[in-house]
Amino acid sequence: MIKYRQARVLLGILGSLSFFTCAMAFISFHKKSAVPITAGYELALSFFGILVLCICATYGAQDFSLGTMRNLYLRTPSRAGIILGKVIAATILIFLLNAYLMVLSLSCALMQAQHLYLNDSLHSGKVLLAGFLGSCALGFFGTALGFITTSPVVAIGVGLLWSLVIESVMSASMKGSAPWLPIVNSVNLAQGGLKNVPAVSLTHSTVVVLGYLAFLFTLAFLTFLRAEIT
């Protein structure tokens, strides 16, 4: 978590999230049709998911490229403990950023003459939980890629290539593949169910995502186990 406290990094993350969330909230509440008060937050999740994937991939691999992995290993001799620490740090960061996005989105909605009722509060809590779980899945994918590739640039490149290009091509060209793709199911968790993939339930998405995460973290641990720490 220490690296996340760097002022330049935090300002960059919060600045980009604030701009995108405010823009999405403004667009949402200027439509003619009625939209839920969390519309800005839900639209911002698309950008937030990609950002989380890149952030976690960077911090998962950065200690390898900077040569600081030895310092972590001296404090935590267990390699599994190092991976677990990275996952916990990512979870805390994702939760805080999700809460910030929701508060900012609701603030923008209230400033545009929207009203917050008790039902809206309950709905916002459910949307926040779903967004947190889906974002965690994407962040954990990034963390695992960081340990597997040991390079921030390669980890980010692989993550973006898979999520933005490969899955889109597979979904369009291979009928029936969408319900079994990791990013599709992570987004399904974040949005509480996709309208364009009605056959994918939240339970199905949870099982598929956990399966992919188990495979990737097993591969990450085996790769890290064989890596030389200098």
Q: What is the pLDDT tens value at each position of the chain, 230 positions in all?
A: 545 556 677 788 888 888 888 887 777 766 544 556 777 788 888 889 999 999 999 988 887 777 777 777 667 667 888 888 889 999 999 999 999 988 888 888 777 655 666 566 777 888 889 899 999 999 999 999 999 998 899 999 999 999 989 998 998 888 888 889 999 899 888 887 655 566 678 888 899 999 999 999 999 999 888 877 65
**The pLDDT of residue 175:** 81
Q: How far apart are CA 83 and CA 90, in angstroms?
A: 11
**The pLDDT of residue 120:** 65
Residue 214 carries which side chain, given as an amino acid letter? A
- In the chain, where are the structural domains located? 3-226
**The pLDDT of residue 140:** 95
Q: How many residues does the chain have?
A: 230
Q: Given 3-state DSSP classes, what are the helix, strand and coil percentages for the chain, each rounded to the nearest 5?
A: 80, 0, 20
Name every residue whose Cβ is closer than 8 Å to that of residue 212 and which is 6 or more positions away in sequence. 141, 182
Please state the pTM of the whole predicted model. Answer: 0.85
DSSP states of 192-206: TS-SS-TT--HHHHH
Q: How far apart are CA 89 and CA 140, in angstroms?
A: 11
